[in-house]
A and B are shown apart, each in its own frame.
Chain A
Amino acid sequence: MKKTLTQHWQNSVFLVVFVLFFVSINLGYYYFLVFSFELFTLFYAWLLEFAAFGLAYECTELFLSLILRETDLARLKKLKSCPPVALVCCTCDDVDINILKNLGNQTYPNLHIFILDDSQRKESQLVVDSSKFEVIRRPSRIGYKAGNLNNWLFRYGSYFPYFVVVDADSFIPDTFVEEMIHYAEHPTNYNIAIFESLIYAWNTKNGFVRLQNVMTPLVHRHRLRLDNRFESTLSVGHNNLYRTAILIDIGGFDQNYIAEDYATSIKILRQRKWLCKTVPVLSYERLPTNLTEYIRRQARWAFQTFQLLNLNISGLRWTIRLKIIRSLHHYLVPIVASFGIVMLVFFNLQRWMFYPSFHIEYEMVEMLIKSKFFLFWIIYLFLPFILRIILALRERVTIVEYLRSTLFHSALFVATIWPVIRRLTNFWTGDVLGFNVTGRSYSPTFLQIIKLGGAGFVLIWIALFSVILNPIFAGLNLIWILPSSLSPFIIYYYQNTTS
């Protein structure tokens, strides 16, 4: 009872800090901006509120991650017994034989390896067969990955109290299963259904991947300090360990959604009996090595996150609800950003039509710089940036690496605006797209990059042009427009750079 009450208060901390940030941002809007009573201004205020939600959530995460201590899960020093554990590897025409072979190096003595092969191509099936592990195939791909896992779960699951799920691109250290079992077998962790690991990229020889991986320590910091404490961890679906009985009890993985990881963990967490937590055990996965792969993955993630809309979340903790909303918010940002950019262009062109002069009056610039309004926007833009720098330094990420990664991520964001909007339009028009694995593709050429980014790049270039026409009042926007307009060059450069 006492523990539940403490946990309840702990969860409230996140909500309280979030509300404080949200209210502070709104007070800033109130004091520094003037809104006239028009429909257009109301829409602008709505966009600002939408941005305030994301900013408040991000600042809450960063701030709490900065001040809270890591929550360590109890771990057995030595295993008294070695319960049978299954290691299941899901593959679908994306097998890598070297990675498969590596699974056989696990030090855990009572381990059984299964390859759940959904491959349609004969050559992929032959590669899987050459691995000499037990291969399980099914006549159809119903339920995609969830269906594949359920097929195994209801046939073999009852023989194993635990099972580890890895993907065809997962690389796990030799002691991975043993380490995970040390946590799972500890009596105080009896209520944890899913044990997540800390996942890094293994293919970091490519500059494109290395920069995606730079901020991963911060993500892990959030998982260990916040998600574990506020019981808001959601499964990522691979490189993790499950308690088989619980999965069987809830009817297996949720086959109704492509994001079976989120759907299944929400189903478990809704019961309030079981938890999902992250343990400090390292594992690795392959990250997209070029823009084609990255866009395919982002568009799929956006689609599958919105597919969860009709999922029941009654009984779920508020911290997890907020996290889910934040995920949806994250994939709506490209749409909102596009509206924001169009409004900026409209404002700049309108101003330019009334004052078609390039002459900069220094008094006006001085007035703008000294104004509280300017100070507000600087704080607004740089607060999360500064908090992230502090955290990055604590995680031993150098400032240069951090800045490089920020620049690279902003370039990736611009490049994915159009593909994500297109994929979400598919979703809203009722087009049911099947699951397609990220897979591997050749690096696109510079022209192909521009074609892939499409409308996103064009919109940014138009915005840059409009800011040049109106340098005094829109000049501050150059902070983000200038690097964003260089996105195709930045992506092309890092795609072809080895680290």
Chain B
Amino acid sequence: MTIRRMSLGMLTLTLIAALFLVGASQTRKNQFYRNLLMQCESLISKTEPLVPDSVNENQINEKFQETIQDSLAKIIVISKEGYAKEVRYYYKKNLMVIDRLDEREKVVRRDIFDAKGRIRIRTYYDYNGNRTRRDYLNIYGKRIDRESFFVPLGGRTGY
């Protein structure tokens, strides 16, 4: 065995380790986002029976979260013009999900937050409520992955 062969072996080993690292990172990343989606779904289903509170857009500030009394809360944010702008879901005073609404009060975008209040998943919907794509963001808000969904013929309405 020569030093050249041993060095090439070592370089190959580091390359394999790098491949494992990237591969393992995909699994972990997927697991993290899967957990977040599951938490989001369970939170939304738990808040379904609740009667949502309405607040004006200008009342939503940093101190707003502290005023929430219940462990589960569903808040409809009313815009200055008087229509429903978004629906916020809180768990133990932490903002978990924001559903952005259009003028027909249909959800067009869903932002899911992590425990530190950073948006990690952003899902887009078309006018018919079909999920069109989902972006996975890293802690800096940079998109690291995108998932596109099949929309049945005629389902997409120009969104």
Interface set of A (CB-CB < 8 Å, partner B): 26, 29-30, 33-37, 41-42, 45-46, 48-50, 52-53, 308-314, 321, 324-325, 328, 367, 371, 373, 473
Contact partners of A45 in chain B: CB under 8 A: 18-19, 21-22
**Could you tell me if B18 and A42 are in contact, using CB atoms closer than 8 angstroms?**
yes
Q: How far is the CA of A488 from the CA of B16 in the complex (A)?
A: 39
Closest to B19 in A: A42
Q: List 15 A-B contacts (CB under 8 A).
A: A30-B24, A30-B28, A35-B21, A35-B25, A36-B29, A41-B22, A42-B18, A48-B18, A49-B17, A50-B14, A53-B10, A310-B3, A324-B6, A325-B7, A373-B139
Known: A34-B25, A35-B25, A328-B7. A312 touches B18 (CB 8 A): no
What chain A residues lie within 8 Å of B144 (beta carbons)?
A: 34, 36
The complex places the Cα of A121 from the Cα of B2 at a distance, in Å, of: 38
Known contacts A35-B22, A42-B18; A310/B2 CB under 8 A: yes
Min CB gap B146→A, angstroms: 10
Q: Which of A35, A46, A309 contacts B2 (CB 8 A)?
A: A309
Decide yes or no whether B103 CB sits under 8 A from chain A. no
Interface residues of B in 122-141 (CB under 8 A from A): 138-140
Q: Other than the known A34-B29, A48-B18, A321-B6, what 19 A-B pairs have Cβ atoms closer than 8 Å?
A: A34-B25, A34-B138, A35-B21, A36-B29, A42-B18, A45-B21, A46-B15, A49-B14, A49-B18, A52-B14, A52-B17, A53-B10, A308-B3, A313-B1, A313-B6, A324-B6, A328-B7, A373-B139, A473-B140
- Residue B26 CB within 8 A of the other chain: yes
Which residues of chain B are within 8 angstroms of A34 by Cβ–Cβ distance?
A: 25, 28-29, 138, 144
Inter-chain contacts of A473 with B (CB < 8 A)? 140
- Chain A interface SS verdict (over half): helix
- Among residues of A, the one whose C-beta sits closest to the C-beta of B10 is A325
Contact residue among A36, A46, A308, A325 (Cβ-Cβ distance under 8 Å from B18): A46
CB pair A324–B28 under 8 Å, yes or no, is no
**In the bound complex, what is the Cα–Cα distance between A88 and B15 (angstroms)?**
46
B81 at interface, CB cutoff 8 A = no
Most-contacted residue by chain A among B2, B15, B17, B116 (CB, 10 A): B17
| The 8 residue pairs across chains A and B that have the minimum distance between CB atoms | A45-B18, A49-B14, A309-B4, A35-B25, A46-B18, A36-B144, A35-B22, A49-B17
**Chain A residue contacts of B25, Cβ below 8 A:** 30, 33-35
Q: Which residue of A lies closest to B28 (CB)?
A: A30
Which residues of A are found within 8 Å of B2, using beta-carbon distances?
309-313
Q: What are the residues of chain A within 8 A of B138 when measuring CB–CB?
A: 34
Q: How far is the CB of B104 from chain A (nearest CB, A)?
A: 32
Q: Which residues of B contact A35 (CB under 8 A)?
A: 21-22, 25-26
- Chain B residue numbers with a CB within 8 Å of A367 are 116, 118
1/0 contact string of B9-46 vs chain A (CB within 8 Å): 01000110111011011101100000000000000000
